[in-house]
């Protein structure tokens, strides 16, 4: 229950950090908020040669609006996002989801970039990143690139970043007026890892039919799962209770293939996905139509 020894580095700049990562490769581990990494180190499931602490890199802590997008530095604390009026105004889905992430003590340390890069399949932020069509700005000592959230998550705790790359920033397009959104999850206990969660973003076209819909689940796969068949069923339809029900059933039956664990078997997770899909789609459509704030 105590971590193994490691070399500790506390760089002050991104450049310094990228040089360290270049040298250590897979033997170097970045320490962001530490709310997932440090437990695994305490259990000695993770024993990095070097721990590179990002908490002293001021340039990674920011929240700003740029080109109708929310730009969030990787080290921005989850609590800061939860409390940000800017976030509430331009990406209200993110604002509404934050309290579902663990507990206040965890969000006081936990960071946006840490959670996104950790790629826990039951975490809220990766699913949200896909639902909101976010992009990740990633750098190594030699290169820089943007990765769409859809291409960022490739498997269990696995992203498309290379060991020498680091996530610096996430860009989240603001939700346009007239779009609707919702997030819900079911956990055994408030703040625990959810057994299933769902995020929905809906845009209504002229005439009130559904123009665009993004429905993303957490907890039912090795990475966040986008319900593509459900979306196909809904686009062009009026957002009626029957259409939403049919799409939610399709999502639960066709779009996911959950495995069970000690907390919930596959059938129960599938059931939760259907129920949550119906709830978030209903709420998102109502919000898009202006029925609900």
Nearer to other proteins, 36 or 248 (CB): 36
Rounded least distance, CB 199 to other proteins, Å: 21
Nearer to other proteins, 41 or 147 (CB): 41
| Residue 38 touches other proteins, criterion: CB under 8 A | yes
Q: How many residues does the chain have?
A: 293
Mask 180-209, x = binds other proteins (CB under 8 A)? Answer: ---------xxx------------------
Q: Give the range of 57-65, 105-113, 219-227, 264-272 binding other proteins by CB under 8 A.
A: 105-113
Nearer to other proteins, 33 or 274 (CB): 33
Q: What is the CA radius of gyration of the chain?
A: 19
**Alpha-carbon distance 264 to 276, whole Å?**
15
| Residue 142 touches other proteins, criterion: CB under 8 A | no
Q: How many residues bind other proteins (CB under 8 A)?
A: 30
- β-partners of residue 212 are 203
| Residue 99 touches other proteins, criterion: CB under 8 A | yes
Residue labelled with tokens 């991104």:
14
Q: Which candidate, 6, 79, 62, 75, places its Cα nearest to that of 38? A: 6
Q: Which parts of this chain interact with other proteins (CB under 8 A)?
A: 1-8, 10, 34-35, 38-39, 42-43, 51, 53, 55, 79, 99, 102-106, 108-109, 189-191
């Amino acid at each position: 229950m105590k971590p193994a020894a490691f070399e500790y580095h506390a760089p002050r700049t991104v450049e310094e950090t990228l040089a360290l990562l270049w040298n250590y490769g897979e033997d170097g581990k970045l320490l962001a908020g530490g709310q997932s990494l440090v437990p695994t180190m305490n259990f000695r499931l993770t024993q990095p040669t070097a721990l590179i602490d990002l908490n002293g890199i001021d340039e990674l802590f920011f929240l700003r609006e740029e080109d109708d997008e929310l730009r969030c530095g990787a080290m921005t604390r989850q609590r800061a996002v939860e409390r940000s009026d800017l976030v509430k105004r331009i990406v209200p889905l993110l604002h509404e989801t934050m309290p579902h992430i663990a507990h206040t003590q965890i969000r006081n340390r936990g960071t946006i970039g840490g959670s996104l890069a950790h790629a826990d399949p039951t975490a809220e932020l990766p699913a949200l990143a896909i639902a909101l069509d976010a992009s990740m700005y990633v750098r190594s000592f030699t290169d820089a690139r943007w990765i769409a959230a859809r291409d960022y998550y490739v498997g269990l705790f696995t992203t498309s970043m290379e060991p020498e790359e680091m996530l610096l920033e996430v860009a989240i397009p603001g939700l346009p007026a007239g779009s609707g959104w919702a997030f819900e999850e079911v956990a055994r206990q408030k703040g625990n890892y959810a057994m299933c969660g769902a995020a929905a973003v809906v845009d209504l076209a002229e005439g009130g039919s559904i123009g665009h819909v993004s429905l993303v689940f957490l907890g039912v796969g090795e990475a966040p799962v986008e319900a593509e068949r459900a979306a196909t069923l809904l686009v062009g339809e009026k957002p009626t209770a029957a259409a939403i029900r049919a799409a939610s059933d399709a999502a639960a039956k066709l779009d996911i293939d959950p495995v069970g664990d000690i907390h919930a078997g596959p059938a129960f997770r599938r059931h939760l996905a259907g129920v949550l899909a119906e709830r978030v789609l209903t709420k998102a459509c109502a919000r898009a139509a202006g029925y609900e704030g």
